[in-house]
Amino acid sequence: MSDKGTIGCGIAIVAVIAFFIWAMSQALTPVEITVNGKVASSYGLLNRDARYRDDVVYEVPFDHVVIPIICIETIIVPAWYVGYNLWVPVGPKK
């Protein structure tokens, strides 16, 4: 392999590692908003009972679907997103 190929491969590896670090930081940070004086947090399949509120509208953002698919090899990122951070509060129900 030439020096240019080695440098390019090194840059690609660093970029992939940076992406995984960014994805984990996004997954570990729950989205929170205040509705009727109480904080509503994002929730997933594993913590729905603890965080879901009837007076809040939730949605699944595009990146919360795409990032777990891209990071499927890590197992940790998709498990965290789907288990704890899939649905995000967007506002109060009307």
pTM metric for this prediction: 0.68
Sign of CA dihedral 82, 16, 61, 73: negative
Q: At what angle do helices 76-84 and 63-70 cross, to 10 degrees?
A: 150
pLDDT at 1 exceeding the cut of 60: no
Give pLDDT tens digits for 55-93.
999 999 888 888 888 888 888 888 888 998 899 999 999
Q: Which domain holds residue 15?
A: 3-92
pLDDT at 26 exceeding the cut of 70: no
SS3 call for 33: strand
Q: Which residues pair with 89 in a beta bridge?
A: 58
Element (H, E) at 41: strand 38-41
Residue 2's pLDDT is 62
Residue 16's pLDDT is 83
Give pLDDT tens digits for 39-59.
999 999 999 999 999 999 999
* Number of domains into which the chain is organized: 1
Q: What would the two tokens of residue 70 be?
A: 């891209």
- Sorting pLDDT into bands at 50, 70 and 90, what band is 28? low
